[in-house]
A and B are shown apart, each in its own frame.
Chain A
């Protein structure tokens, strides 16, 4: 076990370093970006630019810059300074991360619960009216782009700009520390939209997997032994069916934590997804590095967690 963990950790670190390296290469080679111009504001003269370039260390060769970045990251936990705004990448991320986390975790709760309930019911009552209804709705859910659903939701329910003034619209997000009630209200529509879009997929996934598991011989044996439907479900059927479900969910949550760009854009939520998007458009390399790294960390950590869950859930699996 300890050997496995050690190997796993090492591999995780290696992947993260590789990710930063590749990010650096891709965005360093971005055509014709002038990072110094971003920092210099709107009125740079050539001399001012040269001055800033030197301060930022931009005249050094690329491998030098990259090593400098790694050094700062590993030994000082310093992600550098944004080219665009005069703030450290770390503080920018810290400021924006709570919004993305609020969005993701809230939506995740909704979609997992919903998918679990609907998927299970559909699998148990296959070919019934309920099953068909769930099937149709989830099909729509996976076919509609999430930003279109967002627009629809805003069109119908948004406060100032919608038809029924029920909930705050785009751009109304505030941190929970500022105004808890508005924080909650502003997230209801984004949560619902994300939950519908993702929950649809997971409901279908669970239904398919559960159906397969329920057809297994050992389930029939259990039922023949007289174990109740509920027991069968909980003890024997759900666990293996949940494995791919949770694997995928883990990945999705990690991806969303790394920035739900489309949803954040549609609802104007100041999260790290938008941060990354703006950074990419502006060639703000330190910010890009920081956000991608955060995203990659979430993925790598989530992968590890999911693997452990895998072992616990499905007794047939052993740690490699």
Chain B
């Protein structure tokens, strides 16, 4: 098993899903109208961003909500993709779902012909060799992809750690221009149902063109990339992304890609003529401008500030798009720091936390539902773990917290007075509201059972890259963590958080350092299960059992509150946690 994992999506945002109330009806999984959404062609829209916009221009690097919204859906076509309301992958460059053989270890996929790249190689068409190269380059250290090892690691011949020179993967073959054959050593559930092939690593990259950019310490392909989607970065047809179209954190401008054909694309409609992303705003100003202006859409943040949200809910309801994000906010408890190695202490913490207060601090019920286990609503296995009610464990049954129960658990743990009497524990939180308020509230709640926190508030990225995902930093409690799905398969929510085999020195996602051999084995077995029903059962059971261990205390199933100007018909993207699908949105 590869030793490489990715950092929680919370680095910028959380992921999300379909429309809340309506989706409860739609998302039963069947009879959903997930076809293309109608809209009016034309116009330019501007998206206002707060958190720095896209991480990188390289399709091999994209992994977060903003990357997907801004560039992945708009400028590139993938092997499989997601329409605005899709819960399962839709063939994009592929012509059909993968044909399985050899017990699920061999996948045969046919590629559409006649899909042209953007200028400067407009004459060239996509071939399966380009997709092979695209996946292979995702293993390069110079590209820095975050999920290749997890999902493609079982492909025969795939590297187990980042390589400095391209490795040809024999398990991916392109026998002719329109056929791709993938061979894995064991059956991989998320490949067989095409979920893991519906990621931007599969956006085609011609090797002969891109090779020279991929050499060196950091790949520069992003600035010279070829586009297959309905849009491209303005002016990039010259072969290089001009500064006038891309200033990191401040500006990104997209124009139509004349090589794209609507008839051959089952996923995207592309109504806008141009899309502009502007960064460097504060949440307050961006929210006000979007709600009161024209042709504007919200960007890379979860919701408007509470005061503006309150106002908008009463007077501008039609401009708000509230959808569950399939993301869970949780408090991580480091099982290698005393007394958190004791399960009863962890349950006591679960019992004393006043989760309804935390919900209020974050903006109220619009922002989500109080969590009773880890898997988020609408994920397969959610109901197996008890649905909204949850498995019914006592320490997570009281949304307002239960001090008496917490004290009871502390006594079970050996603290006769029902209080912890040891030294303060270290905790690192994010320094901006509302996260910091949540952290400080948790601090004051834990004090009730004698657990005092030495709380450090730092920028969000620092919290992750320097403290919470670094086991050596030995931080006891990280109260501001969040994890969202990669796609609608619960492996992407459970494995990274609870699989002890995935613990590593940096960018560690198993922040509680949970490393129980029995659970690890159960997780590995669940990864190999094939079939939606069976997987839902396997992962739902895991969720149930892991919640009882209280390695982490889940407290919120997040909603995404996207919003747009009155003249914009925004379409939230189920796959991307409720952030926009800009190829389906339009002006009214």
Contacts and interface: CB of A to CB of B under 8 A. Distances in A.
- B63, B141, B161: residue with the most chain A Cβ atoms closer than 10 Å: B141
B289 A40 contact: no
Nearest to B61: A41
Nearest to A47: B161
A37 B162 contact: no
Given A47-B161, A47-B162, A169-B285, A41 B505 contact: no
Nearest to A95: B247
B389 interface: no
Interface stretch (A48-56, A124-132, A187-195, A196-204): A48-56
Interface residues of B, number: 43
Contacts of A170: 282, 285
A171 interface: yes
Contacts of A41: 55-56, 61, 144, 146
A37 B466 contact: yes
A270 B161 contact: no
Contact of A46 (B248, B288, B461, B505): B505
B459 A45 contact: no
Interface in B264-321: 280-282, 284-285, 288-289
A64 interface: no
Nearest to A86: B218
Contact of A268 (B11, B146, B282): B282
A55 B217 CA distance: 7
B458 A281 contact: yes
Given A47-B161, A47-B162, A51-B164, A34 B466 contact: yes
B289 A160 contact: yes
Interface string A45-76: 11111011001000000000000000000000
B145 interface: yes
A45 B248 contact: no
Nearest to A173: B280
A72 B288 CA distance: 46
Given A37-B506, A51-B162, A43 B145 contact: yes
A161 interface: yes
Contacts of A282: 459, 461-462
Given A37-B506, A51-B164, A161-B288, A42 B11 contact: yes
Contacts of B281: 171
Nearest to A56: B217
Contacts of B505: 46
A244 interface: no
Contact of B464 (A42, A46, A49, A87): A42
B418 to A, nearest CB: 36
Contacts of B144: 40-41, 43-44, 48
Contact of B285 (A45, A52, A160): A160
8 contacts: A43-B144, A43-B145, A47-B161, A47-B162, A48-B141, A160-B285, A171-B285, A282-B462
Given A34-B466, A45-B506, 19 more contacts: A32-B466, A34-B506, A37-B466, A40-B144, A40-B506, A43-B6, A44-B507, A46-B505, A86-B218, A87-B248, A161-B284, A170-B282, A171-B280, A171-B281, A171-B282, A268-B280, A268-B282, A281-B458, A283-B466
Interface of A: 32-34, 37-38, 40-49, 51-52, 55, 85-87, 160-161, 169-171, 268, 270, 278, 281-283
Interface of B: 3-7, 11, 55-56, 61, 63-64, 141, 144-147, 149, 161-162, 164, 217-218, 248, 280-282, 284-285, 288-289, 458-459, 461-462, 464-466, 470, 473, 504-507
Q: What 9 pairs between A and B have smallest CB-CB spacing?
A: A43-B146, A45-B4, A42-B7, A55-B217, A47-B161, A42-B11, A43-B6, A48-B162, A160-B288
